[in-house]
Amino acid sequence: MASNSTVTIQSIVEQERSHFGVSHLTLTSANVDAFETAWDEMTVALDAIILGVIRQEVIKFKDERVSSALPASNLARRELKLLIRYIGDTSGDKFTLEVPTPDLAALTMETGDANFVNLADAGVMAAFVTKMEAVLKSPNDPTETCTIDSAQVVGRNI
């Protein structure tokens, strides 16, 4: 399976962005440096032929379909999410990310606040926090580790 990457181009209208996707060779540890050099050269050439601003580049090392199945539960709705708040361990910068379709039956809620999940539940949430913190880095500094502060159930009709 080939890898693919995307450049996001900003138009003059603040909320209007377009994506320029490219399929390319499958990236491996042996070819990623050479590819990144070629990619950088391509984006310089791209910038010379557009009026927009290159806002973001995403180079995908791996992009594979894991499953084509539909969820078994009718409760698996994208409007229901876990709002994960986390903080940079060195900078103290605060960030958020959202996890769609949480399984509320598998989560232990904090006592006194039915919308916050107990992070140290000795179950699936504690396991998620441990594994997530092992890979999570600050969006501002890819060397800075982060700590998850909270997980809150958010969405429509909450």
Q: Which domain, by its residues, includes 87?
A: 80-155
Question: Closest Cα partner for 117 from 149, 70, 142, 76?
Answer: 149
Q: Is the whole-model pTM more than 0.85?
A: no
Do residues 86 and 25 both lie within one domain?
A: no
Is residue 95 situated within a structural domain?
yes
Do residues 96 and 149 both lie within one domain?
A: yes
Is residue 107 situated within a structural domain?
yes
Question: Closest Cα partner for 25 from 57, 60, 54, 64?
Answer: 60
pLDDT at position 61:
83
Domain boundary among 59, 88, 104: 59
pLDDT in tens, 18-30: 999 888 888 889 9
Do residues 48 and 87 both lie within one domain?
A: no
Do residues 38 and 89 both lie within one domain?
A: no
Distance CA 26, CA 63 (A): 10
Percent of the chain with pLDDT over 90: 63
Q: How many domains does the chain have?
A: 2
More confident residue, 138 or 158: 138
pLDDT in tens, 108-136: 999 888 899 999 998 999 999 999 999 99
Cβ atoms within 10 Å, residue 88: 19
Which residues, in sequence order, are CB contacts of 100 under 8 Å at separation 6+? Answer: 78, 80, 81
